[in-house]
Chains A and B, each alone.
Chain A
């Protein structure tokens, strides 16, 4: 069997601007990311070499739920190529990436496009509130009026009760991610905020305020993957997929043993660390799923960067800033870069691709000497997670 570690390389990546994209429809957004990804391949890539398209999307606009991947492949000039939509709620992009990697390891493809796209801002308020929360338990949780932020609020309340975590510590995460996002030209929000901004904004689901939550965004991202042994045909500086893992958990929160731990992240990251032969201390930067501030705090613990219950203090001490022990969400994360559901997981690869090549467009956002990057993404309340570890060639 072919060895999975370092069998696949990333040779190009594109990321549309995230945010309110009144100017672009689903296909336009994808095309924007696709063109940038092709242009980013240093030695050029003939689109005829692309074997297959794996597209992460929840299709939350409801506009083209069936066959959106076929639509997009044809739109960028690849009529005839196999294409499929991959769905795992917010982790759709992560699972599309996993599917693309698998297809190369299986020997079915030499070069693939992994993409993600979502058009969320065109839908009306009531329509959005019908759509949001579709990835949590509908029959026994949403039934009682529990919203998606509400589930994470239950996690925050319990984390505060068990470990003494404070609202200020959560607010600090939003401040850090907005600060990183302010330096990212692709980000939805490019404005710095203060702890007071977060604490004084209205509650959405106590103890979470509006500024503890990520936005809904329009956007797309694309990564071009190939067999590692042909990567140098396309660039002298590919990055390699050194380890990966994936796991799922109960959809309903009431079925969980613990509210303050994401088992899917624990399991998926341990698989990825083992394959890569690396430990948490080896990770220079991580793009992780901060749909709400509490999620970043819990994941900082569960991915192994600090002990369980220590997340609040670890973050408050500045360990997760750019230049700290591990840069967490240098792109601004879901919180500030934005969260176009299916695109988010692939957008993380775009960020890591440039961070590891040392060519982030703004030096203020460059993680110094970055050699190892991790991408973690999850759908729902930590229900479906993927973790990928990338290293510089």
Chain B
């Protein structure tokens, strides 16, 4: 049985709410989610916190259909319908899994530009909030046509 405990969420709130990653002080490798040992150079607990921009591009995606969710997401899909989950490559180079929101799930494409937003997800003991990603609709750059 898969279950994410309330204390585990508590331990990781800065990551789940604000996308706080850890940068290795020895080699500069950026980790999200946090680890105790650097994945790149093996340094132990020598990190500084870095708030990730939340901006990136869809590396790959899927659409989870309403009748095919994991148990705890049943109600979320019953209310909101099928939803897209994507692997997003952030500007900083790390890849992060997250739902794509505020668009038709079937309109998601590889390479689509997205930004992180904080959203309500599902309820199990407590309401579970998390970052999700939404398409950047208005690029806001003067040089673009």
Contact = CB atoms under 8 A, between A and B. Distances in A.
Interface of A: 62, 126, 129-134, 138-147, 149-150, 153-155, 157-158, 161, 202-208, 252-255, 259
Given A134-B2, A144-B97, A146-B97, A203 B65 contact: yes
A250 to B, nearest CB: 9
A62 B33 CA distance: 30
Contacts, number: 113
9 tightest Cβ-Cβ pairs between the two chains A and B = A153-B62, A206-B63, A158-B60, A145-B73, A129-B71, A154-B60, A204-B68, A130-B71, A254-B95
Q: Kindly state the interface size class of chain B when it binds its partner.
A: 35 or more
Contacts of A157: 60-62, 110
Nearest to B131: A144
A206 B106 contact: yes
A253 B85 CA distance: 13
A145 B4 contact: no
Interface string B33-68: 100000100000000000000000001111111011
A130 B2 contact: yes
Contact of B70 (A62, A129, A139, A252): A129
Given A158-B110, A205-B62, A205-B64, A147 B2 contact: no
Interface centre among A132, A144, A145, A259 (most CB of B within 10 A): A145
A150 B62 contact: yes
Given A140-B33, A158-B110, A133 B97 contact: no
B76 interface: yes
Given A161-B60, A204-B68, A253 B106 contact: no
Interface in B81-101: 83, 85-87, 95-99
A155 B77 CA distance: 23
Given A144-B85, A145-B122, A205-B63, 8 more contacts: A62-B1, A130-B70, A139-B8, A143-B4, A143-B128, A153-B62, A157-B61, A158-B60
A161 B97 contact: no
Contact of B69 (A62, A129, A203): A129
Given A129-B70, A141-B97, A144-B98, A150 B64 contact: yes
Contacts of B65: 202-206
B70 A132 contact: yes
B33 A139 contact: yes
A206 B4 contact: no
A145 B60 contact: no
Contacts of A259: 59-60, 87
B71 A143 contact: no
B105 to A, nearest CB: 8
B117 interface: no
Nearest to A154: B60
A38 B1 CA distance: 35
A206 B85 CA distance: 10
5 contacts: A145-B76, A146-B64, A154-B85, A204-B68, A206-B62
B69 A254 contact: no
B12 A139 contact: yes
A108 B38 CA distance: 39
B87 A253 contact: yes
A147 B63 contact: no
Given A139-B33, A150-B64, A254 B2 contact: no
Contacts of B97: 140-141, 144, 146, 252-254
Contacts of A141: 97
Nearest to A136: B2
A198 to B, nearest CB: 16
B71 A149 contact: no
A189 to B, nearest CB: 19
A144 B15 CA distance: 13
A203 B82 CA distance: 10
Contact of B61 (A62, A143, A145, A154): A154
Contacts of B128: 143
A147 B71 contact: no
